[in-house]
Amino acid sequence: MEMGKEIRRLRNDRGLTQEALAAALNVTAQTVSKWECGNSIPDVQLLPEIAVYFGVSIDQLFAMSPEQQMERIENHIYARGLFSEAEERQLVQQLTAFAEKPDYEGRAKTLLAKLYNNQAEQYRMLAVAVGKEAVEKAGDPDAISELANAWGSYIPDWCVRNHHALIAWFSDYCRRHPDNRSAVMWLLDNLIADRRLAEARDWLEKLARIDKSFRVPMYRYQIALAAGDAAEVEQQLQALESLAESEWCCATTLGDIYTQRQEYDKAVEWYRKGQALQPSPKFTDSAMSIAHICEIRGDKAGAIAAYREVLRLMREEWGIVSGEEREDIERAIRALQ
């Protein structure tokens, strides 16, 4: 019924008769009348043609609110792999239209970024697949470089891997928005990665004023590690362990730390503790990390068990029973068997 009302509204806005709309869509005027009265709805294959004719999205035909339309787009992005050029263009047009409205600009542009990042990630994985074949066939430095770059390999050249532009932008943003914890954390991550530790210490003091969680000792640990201060490293590690017994994020952070220290037994212990403490819906990161550790150690059975735990979490916690994400895990299990 809502779709029929929306079609009638769009038709009236255009000053069209039912007969004119019927002729444009190659249906009868009686069919259009039934739509508008709520006695029937258009065939699903006709929806794109109706949307194109009126210059609206299919979602709008269902009279979905802008919030509902953007939620559906976000779910669509998460559920899909690579979008075709036509699909991408349609989503960009929808989101760009929303971005022109002040109330929805921020949300719409965030979803545009998600869409472009999804496309970039999918193309990157295509580059990995083709790059493997290129290396096997050619084996020359150029092919190897393309594969390494596609796979996100570490790059030793400072001029390529430094984050000075990102740091400059986030520094300016954080000076204007000093209470945005997430932004300050991203800034700290990149300052530490680039070994700009004096600046990192200054920003950590700013973070400490707005965040009283485990994140402050976490960053103190990272700065001490980058500076080679062994005593401070151990002191902050103890501080984190004392907080992790009741904080799942801190427990999984310790899993990351012990993985980097190659203390894999401790890492697995903390990952499992973090997953147990985490409220539903539980993320799959801890189980995935355990699977990777098992693969590094050559423990195929352990890796398979961890990947199966990932599938269980996807199904029971998130209701994901199909799609590319599950298929990737299932392929990893088959490769190990």
Average pLDDT over residues 125-142: 96
Task: Report the C-alpha gap between 10 and 227 in whole angstroms.
Answer: 64
- pLDDT tens track for 212-229: 999 999 999 999 999 999
pLDDT, position 75: 83
- pLDDT tens track for 187-208: 999 999 999 999 999 999 999 9
Q: Tell me, which fold does domain 1-64 have in CATH?
A: 434 Repressor (Amino-terminal Domain) (1.10.260)
Residue that the structure tokens 């006709």 belong to? 46
Vertex 180: Cα angle to 177 and 183 (nearest 5):
100
Cβ–Cβ under 8 Å, residues 251 and 282: no
Query: Across all residues in the chain, what is the average pLDDT?
Result: 93
pLDDT, position 296: 97
pLDDT, position 300: 97
Confidence of residue 68 (pLDDT cuts 50, 70, 90): confident
- Judged against a pLDDT cut of 70, whether residue 172 lies above it is answered with yes
Residue (of 33, 130, 128, 115) closest to 80 by Cα position: 115
Confidence of residue 48 (pLDDT cuts 50, 70, 90): confident
- Judged against a pLDDT cut of 70, whether residue 183 lies above it is answered with yes
Paired tokens of 153: 């390999």
CB-hemisphere CA count at 13 Å for 165?
A: 3
- Judged against a pLDDT cut of 60, whether residue 1 lies above it is answered with no
| Domain range summary for the chain, segments of one domain joined by + | 1-64, 70-153, 280-337
